[in-house]
């Protein structure tokens, strides 16, 4: 092995990266038609940033003409084995495994930059730029080109030893590296678990992800109302979703145990968070991306999906005291899902809400209650 590659691999491993790969930069012309067709079909939903700077996404040398290679890194995180609790009876939500603990952007990018520093130290005058889920970069395409895994049917990069539970980082550099191994063979075979078990049907054949149907998109990126037809299918997911990872056979041996309080936070407690409390609880967490209004909107939906009468009181209180119409409107929907005389009285009061969307949700809920 080239001494520089060997050193980079060793340092990356010492920093916690379990996957290290190299590839020569080139235009990703084989992905261009798929990418443009996906955008034209609305696959990116409201994420307009995914359509920006297509030339730079397809060829990182548009970022800097000096770049010649990419170092792709995989940093593992733990899958979570769901505790044996009745989330409806206990009114607990669920957060995607990657968002538990400190925000991965901060952790992984700091370590990836340390790998990039080694390149500049050993090759004085060289240049590097590091990305971790940021910027106009096709990270999965470069991970595949760097031979650290294959494209799974769940649209994730999969690796035989590490499944899909790892973050990706890319280091673009003017140092020349070639991929020295054969392409990572595809191992999904005839398995369709991720496609068939996605509750919203967000995944389709041909490695297609419909963002507007994805639970992760709806609970994180969507800044407005969650479509009514999707709300019951979201279950108790309040930030992200792990279903297409959890059902993958390559992830069967990667689950770790957590307490119910760590993995399944109590929904009524979350619905009561004010701005200051939200900031304190999630300041170093990836959950902050949803913002308070988005997270509590999701919490209201999950409470409705519990169908638990004990959820009526916190939902009714939210309608009475919450300043955000988005949260109040979803709380009204949730009360309609639970039903009963107490929920109905709260919904009748919501008909006098100052916000049109809240009144509309309350009226629709009363029609079915």
Q: Tell whether 133 and 20 lie within a shared domain.
A: yes
Distance (Å, whole) CA 32 – CA 90? 47
pLDDT digits (tens, 9 = 90+) for 185-201: 999 999 999 999 999 99
In a domain, 179, yes or no: no
pLDDT tens for the chain, residues 1 to 369: 688 999 999 999 999 999 999 999 999 888 889 999 999 989 889 898 888 888 888 899 998 999 999 999 999 998 877 778 899 999 999 999 999 989 999 999 999 999 999 999 999 999 999 999 888 899 999 999 999 999 999 999 999 999 999 999 999 999 999 887 888 999 999 999 999 999 999 999 999 999 999 999 999 999 999 999 999 999 999 999 999 999 999 997 766 655 556 678 999 999 999 999 999 999 999 999 999 999 999 999 999 999 999 999 999 999 999 999 999 999 999 999 999 999 999 999 999 999 999 999 999 999 987
Catalytic annotation, pick one of 133, 174, 178, 246: 133
Q: Tell whether 302 and 157 lie within a shared domain.
A: no
Distance (Å, whole) CA 220 – CA 290? 5
- Find the CATH number of the domain harbouring 292: 1.25.10.10
In a domain, 207, yes or no: no
Identify whether the C-beta of residue 88 lies closer than 8 Å to the C-beta of residue 232. Answer: no
In a domain, 257, yes or no: no
The last residue of a domain, from among 136, 158, 173: 173
Tell me, yes or no, if 133 is annotated catalytic.
yes
Between β-strands 208-209 and 203-204, what pairing exists: parallel, antiparallel or unpaired?
antiparallel
Q: Tell whether 169 and 271 lie within a shared domain.
A: no
The last residue of a domain, from among 173, 205, 230: 173
In a domain, 195, yes or no: no
What Cα–Cα distance (Å) separates residue 17 from each residue in 11, 103, 122, 168? Answer: 9, 16, 20, 9
The whole-number pLDDT of residue 1 equals 65
The whole-number pLDDT of residue 83 equals 74
What total number of domains does the chain contain? 2
In a domain, 192, yes or no: no
Name the helix (H) or strand (E) containing 148: none
In a domain, 213, yes or no: no
What sections of 210-311 are H helices per DSSP? Answer: 215-216, 231-234, 243-246, 260-263, 267-271, 275-282, 291-306
The last residue of a domain, from among 173, 192, 212: 173
In a domain, 214, yes or no: no
Range of the domain at 37: 3-78+100-173
The whole-number pLDDT of residue 257 equals 59
Decide: helix, strand or coil at residue 175.
coil
pTM summary value: 0.93
């Amino acid at each position: 092995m080239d001494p520089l590659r060997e050193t980079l691999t060793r340092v990356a491993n010492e920093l916690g990266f379990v996957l290290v790969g190299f590839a020569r930069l080139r235009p990703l012309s084989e992905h261009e038609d798929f990418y443009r067709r996906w955008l034209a079909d609305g696959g990116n939903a409201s994420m307009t940033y995914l359509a920006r700077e297509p030339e730079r996404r397809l060829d990182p040398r548009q970022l800097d003409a000096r770049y010649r290679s990419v170092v792709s890194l995989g940093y593992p995180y733990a899958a979570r084995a769901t505790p044996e609790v009745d989330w409806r009876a206990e009114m607990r939500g669920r957060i995607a495994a990657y968002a538990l603990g400190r925000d991965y952007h901060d952790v992984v990018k700091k370590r990836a930059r340390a790998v990039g520093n080694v390149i500049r130290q050993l090759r004085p005058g060289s240049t590097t730029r590091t990305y971790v889920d940021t910027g106009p970069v096709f990270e999965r395409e470069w991970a595949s080109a760097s031979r650290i895994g294959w494209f799974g049917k769940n649209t994730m990069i999969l690796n035989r030893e590490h499944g899909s539970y790892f973050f990706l980082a890319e280091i673009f550099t003017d140092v020349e590296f070639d991929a020295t191994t054969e392409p990572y063979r595809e191992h999904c075979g005839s398995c369709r678990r991720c496609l068939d078990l996605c509750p919203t049907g967000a995944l389709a054949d041909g490695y297609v992800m419909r963002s507007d149907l994805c639970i992760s998109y709806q609970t994180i990126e969507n800044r407005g109302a969650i479509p009514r037809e999707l709300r019951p299918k979201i279950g108790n997911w309040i930030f992200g979703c792990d279903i297409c990872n959890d059902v993958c056979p390559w992830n069967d041996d990667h689950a770790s145990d957590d307490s119910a309080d760590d993995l399944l936070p109590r929904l009524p407690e979350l619905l009561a968070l004010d701005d200051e409390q939200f900031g304190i609880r999630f300041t170093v967490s990836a959950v902050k991306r949803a913002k308070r209004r988005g997270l509590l909107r999701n919490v209201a939906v999950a409470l409705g999906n519990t169908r638990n009468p004990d959820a009526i009181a916190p939902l009714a209180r939210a309608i009475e005291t919450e300043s955000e119409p988005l949260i109040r409107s979803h709380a009204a929907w949730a009360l309609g899902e639970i039903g009963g005389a107490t929920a109905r009285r709260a919904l009748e009061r919501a008909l006098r809400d100052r916000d049109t969307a809240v009144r509309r949700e309350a009226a629709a809920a009363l029609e079915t209650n």
